[in-house]
Structure 1
Amino acid sequence: MAKRIVVSYLTLLVIMSLLFVLLRSMPGSFITSMINPQMTREQIERIRETWGLNEPLWRQYVQFMINYQTGDFGRSPTYSTAVSELMLRRLPRTLILFGSTFIVGYIVGPLVGMYLGWWRGSNKDKSIFSSSLLMYSMPSFWIAWLFIWLFNYHLGWLPSSYMFTQFPEFEWTAFTVMRDVLYHLALPLLSVSFIGWVGAMLIMRPSMNNVTEEGYVFLARAKGLSERTVMLKHAARNALIPVATGAIVGLAFIIDGAVVIENVFSWPGMGQLIVNAVLSRDFPVAQAAFFVIAALIVVMRLFTDVVYTYLDPRIKFGEGE
């Protein structure tokens, strides 16, 4: 366990170093928007000193590494606020959208994969599997635009932007806030979930098919148990092990998948924040956002290594088995 934690920590240090180098390799600087031709050299130097850009690059790097390991992400020149406060405001909004999508995908996907794997090779399996692969190959933003055209422009049923009604004609209460968020959540949730469940299905289907030939499945049938009981209680429980692993790792990619969809639906979450930060060269926000994504992935992979040993007792943690 200690070895895994040390490796994870060193991985985060490497990621922080890469972020520092890559973002500062971009042309221009995030203080460019603060400088105008009427400013004197002294005023420009004062701005550079305020943001620590007059220091040698190695000293900037050392300070950057110290700050990030102590949770200090600095201040945003674009939003004029602490980056940590900005993250705390935006992250829950992304978790609402993609957390809902994650739950829907990992309920529908394993259920469909379970039935397809149990009857693998049947006409039902071939037709559903082929159509789901076709859906999975479609770009998520194209599906989002198609659903916006259908449910917003054509039918007028669902809103296509923002998390709340911008100019409400009703009084805000706990109930109206929840209802309004769900109303705005429906279309992006439908768009992402339309193809999001296929990934879990593709893991569950071969896993379910593999356990159909196991001895405990034949033993359950020999006991006279119904086909439904054998499938759900004996085969599916063991087939869910790789799906559970994929789900744990998939949690870390919630923010990563938000970049495109949040900009399509103008959802005020982490994805929209990342795009705006990169376009405006807001280094503190961009670095912190990318670091949060990387940290989630590293932590969830470490968590996966630990949890997998409890899901499958045949695996010994820290051993070559």
Structure 2
Amino acid sequence: MSGGFNRYLLRRVLLLVFVLWCILTIMFWLFHFMPGDPTAMFVDANLSPALIERQRELWGLADPVWIQYLRYLRNMVLFDFGTSFFQIAPVSEIMAEKVVNTCLMVVPSLIIAVVLGTLIGAVAGWRRGGLFERAAVGGSLFLHSAPSFFVGILALMVFSYQLRWLPPGGMVSLGGPSTAWGMLFSGDFWVHLLLPCAVLVSREITGPILLLRTSMLEVKGSDFLDILRAKGLPERRIVVHATRNALLPLVTYVAVMTAALFQGQVLLEIIFAWPGIGRELVQALHDLDYPVAQAALYLMALVTLLLNLMADLLYGLIDPRVTYD
């Protein structure tokens, strides 16, 4: 690695740490000033003030604010999220399960969206001005402008409640497998996944289509394609070579797209009753379960920052024209 790259990496890591500190600080004060007291929801009002205060001390809510803030920062850095106020279980265990559930919905949707979007975008860019390109661009703009919650509700109404082809929600039916590996090898899980996955793909496939089309148009006029034609390569091989060069912007976009998927599935998890991190966050906010809500927001922010950092670094590694000096 060159000295320029090392300096760039150091700056990006320091910037990531600073932004993460800002996010954690905003989260702390946001929860600190939220109306309502989590103890009031399950501490009996008939208890004496001394017992109520004792419970607050056990949770650390009676300490000075600056002590709570420093303890909060230390715990977030160490991924020590404490115990859920309501589920009486370690928050780290709850988050581990919910993150896996979210990944089980996001990862297949991401793979399908990237693969199909790449193929459609490459063909649309290569056949500029044709019917296929107009249909691809028009369909992408239409799907991109449709709110995901509206598409999700519409899909539920049509395919679950009217046609009764697919289950309306959840990851598996009652009595189905409860582990991630068990669900992956269960047909019942894939049937439940089909509808939310289709809604996610309909939204996220638009980015790769439009990006590949634009990138393909730029590559299409390159001199190296004329050289390949002069060598007598068939059109199919030339398209493959052009697509490889057009993929450079998509590689970094996928990292940003993954971060958006990880955050943007909150409404869909609620609509499809999918027990992921987004649904858990909404429930925790409703219950004033601060440890769970803070952990969920922290993990979502951390994943977003890390994936954006990965996108910046990947672009420099795969494109030799990028320099850091």
| TM-score category (smaller protein) | over 0.9
Q: How is 1:1-321 mapped onto 2 (pairs within 5 angstroms)? A: 1-167=9-175, 174=182, 178-232=186-240, 234-316=241-323, 318-319=324-325
Q: Distance in 2 between matches of 1:113 and 1:160?
A: 32
Corresponding residue for 2:5?
none
- Identify which range, 236-245 or 192-201, moves more after superposition: 192-201
Shift of 1:6: 2.2
Q: Distance in 1 between matches of 2:300 and 2:210?
A: 25
Q: Distance in 2 between matches of 1:138 and 1:2?
A: 40
Q: Distance in 2 between matches of 1:237 and 1:17?
A: 43
Shift of 1:53: 0.9
Q: C-alpha offsets along residues 46-100 of structure 1, whole Å, 9 cap, x if unaligned?
A: 1210111111111110110111111211111021111101011111111010111
Q: Is the 8 A contact 2:183 2:189 kept in 1?
A: no
Q: Distance in 1 between matches of 2:103 and 2:19?
A: 25
Q: Distance in 1 between matches of 2:41 and 2:267?
A: 25
Query: % of aligned pairs identical?
Result: 33
Q: Distance in 1 between matches of 2:116 and 2:272?
A: 24
Shift of 1:208: 0.8
* One-letter amino acid of the counterpart of residue 85, structure 1: E
Q: Is the 8 A contact 1:208 1:239 kept in 2?
A: yes
Q: Secondary structure at the match of 1:160?
A: coil
TM-score, normalised on structure 2?
A: 0.91
Residue correspondences, number? 313
**Structure 1: any 5+ residue segments left out of the alignment?**
none
Q: Return closer, same or farther for 1:88/1:212 CA change in 2, 3 Å cut-off.
A: same
Q: Return closer, same or farther for 1:301/1:196 CA change in 2, 3 Å cut-off.
A: closer
Q: Is the 8 A contact 1:249 1:301 kept in 2?
A: yes
Q: Is the 8 A contact 1:95 1:254 kept in 2?
A: no
Q: C-alpha offsets along residues 271-307 of structure 1, whole Å, 9 cap, x if unaligned?
A: 1101101111111111111110111111112222222
Q: Return closer, same or farther for 1:118/1:23 CA change in 2, 3 Å cut-off.
A: same
Shift of 1:37: 2.5
Q: Secondary structure at the match of 1:185?
A: helix
- Identify which range, 307-316 or 97-106, moves more after superposition: 307-316
Q: Secondary structure at the match of 2:186?
A: helix
Deviation beyond 3 Å, 4+ runs, structure 1 = 173-177
Q: Secondary structure at the match of 1:201?
A: helix
Q: Distance in 2 between matches of 1:134 and 1:71?
A: 41
Q: Distance in 2 between matches of 1:311 and 1:177?
A: 35
Q: Distance in 1 between matches of 2:308 and 2:207?
A: 18
Q: Distance in 2 between matches of 1:237 and 1:182?
A: 32
**Structure 2: any 5+ residue segments left out of the alignment?**
1-8
- Superposed CA RMSD: 1.8
Q: Return closer, same or farther for 1:243/1:177 CA change in 2, 3 Å cut-off.
A: closer
Q: Distance in 2 between matches of 1:176 and 1:238?
A: 35
Q: Return closer, same or farther for 1:58/1:6 CA change in 2, 3 Å cut-off.
A: same
Q: Distance in 2 between matches of 1:115 and 1:207?
A: 11
